[in-house]
Structure 1
Amino acid sequence: MYKSCVVRGFTEKYNVSKLVYFDSTDDVKAAITREKQIKGCTRGKKIDLIESINPEWDDLSEIFNN
């Protein structure tokens, strides 16, 4: 379902096909704050963040398919 391309939007526009990083929280305000923090980072810092938890850049969407 996650890679079926049935929902138009960001992933379709930018041809995104792998999930390499994610955060989770039950607090909506914390999630929005975190998203703004990450969006404000340089590309290099984003790459460092990804590689700190997923050094091989594996597709983490498989976690959600089980």
Structure 2
Amino acid sequence: MDPNNRWVVLINQVPWDDLVSLFNKHTPPKGTGRPPLNPRVLIGALIIKHILNLDDRGQLPRYM
């Protein structure tokens, strides 16, 4: 990967371990059901969503 890519640069700036610890602290593990997604994937998706100003469907919001 290109080390100058904006997402690669961002990866190196995010305190992943701190965020995952905080996420896990507020979302206790479940004993049943489907295994949870990796918290880094969830956190990364939220960061990208907000940086690109996307709605929950991945589209730019329409303003009136």
Range class of TM-score, shorter chain: under 0.3
**Which structure carries more relative contact order (alpha carbon 8 Å, separation 6+)?**
1
TM-score when scaled to structure 1?
A: 0.27
Q: Greater Rg, structure 1 or structure 2?
A: 2
